[in-house]
């Protein structure tokens, strides 16, 4: 059974760059494009920026370094890390990286990695202030629900919010939705995460021990669970695709029940425990991604990439360094669409690496910068793009990193 609907959708806005999704990738893309002087509109379906990093309470800004004392992610990736703790860190403050008198020569494998734990509410507000300062327009409570296409381009993105259904025309579109929704609407080639996501229910609470993040369940799928099925006990035996509305509702209800059970259990030793914040979005990690012109894989470790737009490390272990190809951010089938964050092209094991905060910032800055330079990503002048990224603090190749003393 179905209902046949007919719409006449008004065009409400026009912009140079439309960024869909206000997580870390979307924040980075919008900042880069707005700072380049473009009219930028950022869509976010929640009423706070940051996505999983804030509303999802995944408040650990994972490493910008390779674990051996070398910083590899720069530009907006570093800017946002420092912004996240500019009013104080919650935990994991790496003094050897953040203190003003710190020098690279002091950093060794024995030091903490360049990561921090931050406050989600402060980070969301601070990021909002940076975007407004750059001249970006933010539309909260706004869902992208469809696209209008002509040949191999997106002409407009159809959105719905409190004002109703409307269209936003844009020269270039950045898909930072996390679920690669815009690419799917535009019928660009995409691929789903086959394994599915495990249940997690992270929450903040306060008791006689102070104010703490309770990391209940796994927001990161352990490698041992992937390969050998012998990982730590899970909160539920079900995995979630993250692409079905009813399933997501069930997932959130299961997370709430797990949170309540954990609080009741912990109150036996700490009777003053009270929850202060629970995740307000499902803690889903990987769902759908673009099938790009290049697909990153773990075999790209320490590989020189001619069209690199920045570097990322492996949050799971020390050592690996990956140069991110520009061609992993788009499909030639939709020429004015570029992806950022966990929507980018990567094999499943590499996807687990590329979805985290620093990688989202690196790909977001690259996507936003490219969108400011042109609206056909198959014709992007890579040398020009790289020149602009370098001017804005990004180091593109491992060979360009300072030699360690």
Average pLDDT over residues 166-188: 98
Residue 405 pLDDT more than 60? no
pLDDT digits (tens, 9 = 90+) for 286-324: 999 999 999 999 999 999 999 999 999 999 999 999 999
91 in the same domain as 64: yes
Say how far apart CA 335 and CA 149 lie, in whole Å: 11
Average pLDDT over residues 229-248: 85
Number of structural domains found in the chain: 2
Mark which of 278, 301, 324 sits at the end of a domain: 278
pLDDT of residue 227: 60
Mark which of 245, 278, 311 sits at the end of a domain: 278
CB 355 within 8 A of CB 221: no
Question: Is there a domain that residue 198 lies in?
Answer: no
138 in the same domain as 55: yes
Question: Is there a domain that residue 293 lies in?
Answer: yes
151 in the same domain as 36: yes
Percent of the chain whose predicted confidence (pLDDT) is above 70: 96
230 in the same domain as 90: no
274 in the same domain as 298: no
- The range of the structural domain enclosing residue 147 comes to 12-193+287-400
Question: Is there a domain that residue 347 lies in?
Answer: yes
- Confidence band (pLDDT; 50, 70, 90) for 225? low
297 in the same domain as 270: no
Question: Is there a domain that residue 2 lies in?
Answer: no
Taking the CA atoms of residue 361, residue 245, residue 205 and residue 127 in that order, the dihedral angle to the nearest 10 degrees is: 30
Tell me the average pLDDT of the chain: 94
Question: Is there a domain that residue 244 lies in?
Answer: yes
pLDDT of residue 236: 85
pLDDT digits (tens, 9 = 90+) for 126-159: 999 999 999 999 999 999 999 999 999 999 999 9
pTM (two decimals): 0.96
Average pLDDT over residues 67-95: 94
Mark which of 251, 278, 305 sits at the end of a domain: 278
Residue 374's CATH number: 3.50.50.60
pLDDT of residue 282: 96
pLDDT digits (tens, 9 = 90+) for 106-115: 788 888 999 9
Say how far apart CA 316 and CA 156 lie, in whole Å: 39
139 in the same domain as 156: yes
Q: CA-CA distances (angstroms) from residue 175 to 22, 289, 331?
A: 10, 10, 12
230 in the same domain as 157: no
185 in the same domain as 208: no
61 in the same domain as 99: yes
Residue 339 pLDDT more than 60? yes
Question: Is there a domain that residue 3 lies in?
Answer: no
């Amino acid at each position: 059974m179905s209902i046949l609907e007919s719409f006449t959708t008004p065009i409400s806005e026009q912009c140079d760059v439309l960024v869909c999704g206000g997580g870390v990738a979307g924040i980075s893309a919008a900042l880069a494009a707005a700072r380049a002087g473009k009219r930028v509109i950022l869509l976010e379906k929640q009423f706070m920026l940051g996505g999983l990093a804030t509303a999802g309470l995944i408040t650990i800004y994972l490493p910008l370094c390779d674990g051996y004392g070398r910083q590899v992610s720069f530009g907006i990736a570093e800017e946002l890390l420092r912004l996240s703790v500019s009013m104080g860190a919650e935990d994991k403050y790496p003094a050897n990286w953040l203190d003003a008198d710190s020098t690279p020569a002091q950093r060794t494998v024995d030091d903490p990695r360049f990561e921090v734990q931050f406050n989600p509410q402060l980070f969301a507000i601070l990021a909002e202030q940076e975007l407004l300062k750059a001249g970006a327009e933010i539309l909260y409570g706004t869902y992208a629900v469809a696209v209008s296409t002509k040949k191999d381009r997106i002409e407009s993105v159809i959105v719905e919010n409190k004002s109703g259904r409307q269209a936003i025309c844009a020269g270039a579109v950045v898909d930072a939705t996390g679920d690669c929704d815009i690419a799917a609407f535009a019928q660009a080639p995409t691929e789903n995460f086959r394994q599915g996501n495990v249940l997690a229910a992270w929450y903040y609470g306060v008791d006689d021990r102070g104010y703490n993040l309770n990391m209940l369940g796994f927001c990161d799928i352990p490698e041992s669970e992937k390969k050998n099925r012998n990982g730590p006990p899970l909160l539920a035996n079900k995995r979630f695709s993250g692409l079905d509305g009813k399933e997501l509702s069930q997932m959130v209800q299961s997370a709430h029940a797990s949170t309540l059970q954990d609080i009741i259990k912990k109150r036996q030793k700490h009777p003053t425990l009270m929850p202060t914040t629970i995740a307000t979005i499902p803690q889903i990690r990987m769902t759908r991604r673009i099938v790009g012109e290049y697909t990153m894989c773990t075999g790209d470790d320490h590989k020189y990439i001619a069209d690199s737009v920045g570097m990322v490390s492996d949050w799971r272990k020390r050592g690996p360094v990956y140069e991110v190809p520009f061609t992993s951010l788009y499909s030639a089938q939709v020429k004015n669409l570029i992806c950022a964050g966990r929507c980018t092209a990567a094999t499943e094991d590499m996807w687990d690496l590329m979805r985290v905060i620093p990688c989202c910032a690196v790909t977001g800055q690259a996507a936003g910068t490219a969108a400011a330079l042109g609206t056909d990503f198959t014709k992007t002048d890579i040398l020009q793009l790289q020149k602009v990224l370098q001017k804005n603090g990004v180091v593109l190749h491992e060979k360009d990193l300072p030699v360690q003393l």
